[in-house]
């Protein structure tokens, strides 16, 4: 048995000690969120046009009637037939949030380099409803450092998560999330981007597993995760790019 078995009183003492640490983390997270909101903004100076289910749209049009836009950089490259397992896992948690984000003055959209027809086919297979558009005709995914050109990969080094790292074989797409704001002057500003495990807190399944005695019960990062329609027959992966 990996954990000690104790009396009720001893358990309460241990739990209360942990509660102190949990409260410290909550306050630290509040301070971090405040610092994130206080970051300076940079103007978006390029005109991006995306392929969407309702026709071409500019970055500004993706805001709809909201003044904020959250973009999830979903790993689905032009030559892939399926989306990334980890991105698909995160996407399973999005549909319920979109309506609440809108009420909080924030639009949401996923963006991938794959052509729209591949996006729509995979979206239908997975049963998702959230907006998902293609950046196949522009440099958006490259500019926000989630996609990498052939010459970048061939050089052996890519810039990801604000640092240079070794290229991951032939992999040319990685996950991330970017936030944008529309100013009172009508201009669009980039306010924040996060990469790697930065969007992990969106995945409520992981947060719930963190409550459990076995935690995430993994040998590699999310190595037990599969697309939700493949749990019965897909082999366990060795790990996830997230």
- pLDDT category, 239, cuts 50, 70, 90? low
- Closest alpha carbon to 91 in 232, 188, 183, 229: 229
Return left, alpha or beta for 136; rule: phi > 0 is left, psi -120 to 50 is alpha, else beta.
alpha
**Number of separate helices (H) and strands (E) present in the chain:** 7, 10
Q: What are all long-range contacts of 101-104, with beta carbons under 8 Å and residues at least 24 apart?
A: 101/70, 102/64, 102/66
Higher pLDDT, 236 or 136: 136
Q: Is the pLDDT of residue 124 over 80?
A: yes
CATH number of the domain at 42-202, out of 3.40.50.12280, 3.90.105.20, 3.40.30.10, 3.40.50.1580? 3.40.30.10
Given the structure tokens 């989630």, which residue do they identify?
A: 146
Given the structure tokens 């050089």, which residue do they identify?
A: 155
In this structure, how many other beta carbons lie within 10 angstroms of the beta carbon of residue 86?
A: 20
CA distance 178 to 158: 19
Q: Is the pLDDT of residue 217 over 60?
A: yes
Q: How far apart are the first and last CA of the chain?
A: 31
Percent of the chain at pLDDT exceeding 70: 95
């Amino acid at each position: 048995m990996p954990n000690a078995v104790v009396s009720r009183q001893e358990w309460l003492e241990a739990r209360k000690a942990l509660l102190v640490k949990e409260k410290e983390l909550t306050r630290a997270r509040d301070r971090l969120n405040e610092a994130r909101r206080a970051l300076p903004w940079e103007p978006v100076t390029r005109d991006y046009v995306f392929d969407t289910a309702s026709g071409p749209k500019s970055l500004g049009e993706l805001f709809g009637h909201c003044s904020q836009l959250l973009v999830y950089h979903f790993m689905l490259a032009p030559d892939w037939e399926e989306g990334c397992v980890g991105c698909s896992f995160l996407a399973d948690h999005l549909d319920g949030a979109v309506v609440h984000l809108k009420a909080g003055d924030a639009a949401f959209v996923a963006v991938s380099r794959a052509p729209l027809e591949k996006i729509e086919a995979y979206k239908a297979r997975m049963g998702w409803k959230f907006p998902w558009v293609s950046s196949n005709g522009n440099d958006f995914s490259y500019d926000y450092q989630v996609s990498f050109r052939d010459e970048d990969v061939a050089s052996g080094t890519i810039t990801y998560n604000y640092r240079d790292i070794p290229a991951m074989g032939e992999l040319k797409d990685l996950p991330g999330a970017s936030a944008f704001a529309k100013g009172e002057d009508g201009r669009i500003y980039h306010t924040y981007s996060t990469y790697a495990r930065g969007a992990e807190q969106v995945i409520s399944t992981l947060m719930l597993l963190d409550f459990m005695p076995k935690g995430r019960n993994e040998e590699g990062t999310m190595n037990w995760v599969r697309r939700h329609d493949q749990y019965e027959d897909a082999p366990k992966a060795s790990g996830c790019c997230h």
